[in-house]
Amino acid sequence: MTAFTLEFDRYKLELGSKTCIMGILNATPDSFSDGGRFNRFDTAVAQGLKLVKDGAHILDIGGESSRPFAPPVSESEELDRVIPVIEALVKEISIPISIDTVKSAVAKHALDAGASIINDITAFEKDPAMADLAAKRQAPVILMHMKGTPQTMQVNPDYDDLMTEITVYLASRADYAIRKGIKKENIILDPGIGFGKTVEHNLVLLNQLEKITALGFPVLVGPSRKSFIQKILSKKETSPLGPDHIRTEYGTLAAVAVSLMKGAHIVRVHDVEKVKPFTRILDSIRNA
């Protein structure tokens, strides 16, 4: 697989031979998996420290849910949720913090507070000022494919040619970022598992992920606890499986395995404790 070196701020991440694990910290009351569990300052900081202790290489902090049909939150509310948590954690941890936001003002305050990476699920489309900010601060960026918005993305998503549309979109957004002054080596692509995609779309995307990695950028995949896993595993159950069900976790590990074998560099997950030893074995096999 193609290897990349991501150098920024005081950090250096080697992406390729060893899986990079991004731990998810949702400081929100309504995220699809853990909404409400870590939306208090003390519980959010404690969970962040646990994710680092469990072996995360990046900590991704978000204050606005991007689950299907999630209502938007105000800039001030999002700042209140994430900035105190970032300020507290940056004093305690030695790994980079990513801010998961679509608002450039939130990203700016997060970078000022100690975050180093910008994770924008709209790939700079919602707030074009985000690209200018990333270029000015020389921050690595994660650009994701999403069909529609969180409010509309799961309303009958349809594609004429799934993989072509996603690869062309990601290539165009990466080109836009470069033209805005962001260094090519600071760009990470995310095909957007679960964002405007049916169960079948997600399966095809994972099965053909090499078409995304062929674009020549590090690739992040976030299958953790997604609804397509729950739907597949619930087909023969009397009641639907929830995101925290142990079988959903097993399903997540399967999706992580395929992602890595197809060339993903970073996996974004909730349960770092389980994923860490799993990826160590996968990396050993891939590097044999």
pLDDT of residue 32: 47
Q: What is the mean pLDDT of each run of 10 residues along the chain (288 residues)?
A: 94 96 87 55 93 98 81 91 96 98 98 98 96 98 87 74 97 98 98 95 98 98 95 82 90 97 97 97 94
pLDDT of residue 145: 97
What are 254-287's pLDDT values in tens digits?
999 999 999 999 999 999 999 999 999 999 999 9
Point out the catalytic residue in the list 103, 108, 225, 268: 268
pLDDT of residue 155: 65
Q: Domain 4-286 is in which class? A: alpha beta
pLDDT of residue 237: 73
Known catalytic membership, residue 226: yes
Q: What is the SS3 string spanning the chain?
A: CCCEEEEECCEEEEECCCCEEEEEEECCCCCCCCCCCCCCHHHHHHHHHHHHHCCCCEEEEECCCCCCCCCCCCHHHHHHHHHHHHHHHHCCCCCCEEEECCCHHHHHHHHHHCCCEEEECCCCCCCCHHHHHHHHHCCCEEEECCCCCCCCCCCCCCCCCHHHHHHHHHHHHHHHHHHCCCCHHHEEEECCCCCCCCHHHHHHHHHCCHHHHCCCCCEEECCCCCHHHHHHHHCCCCCCCCCCCHHHHHHHHHHHHHHHHCCCCEEEECCHHHHHHHHHHHHHHHCC
pLDDT of residue 37: 59
Euclidean distance between CA atoms 94 and 92, whole angstroms? 7
Point out the catalytic residue in the list 226, 236, 262, 276: 226
Known catalytic membership, residue 179: no
Task: Please state the domain extents for the chain.
Answer: 4-286
The phi, psi pair for 105, rounded to 5°, reads: -65, -40
pLDDT of residue 38: 58
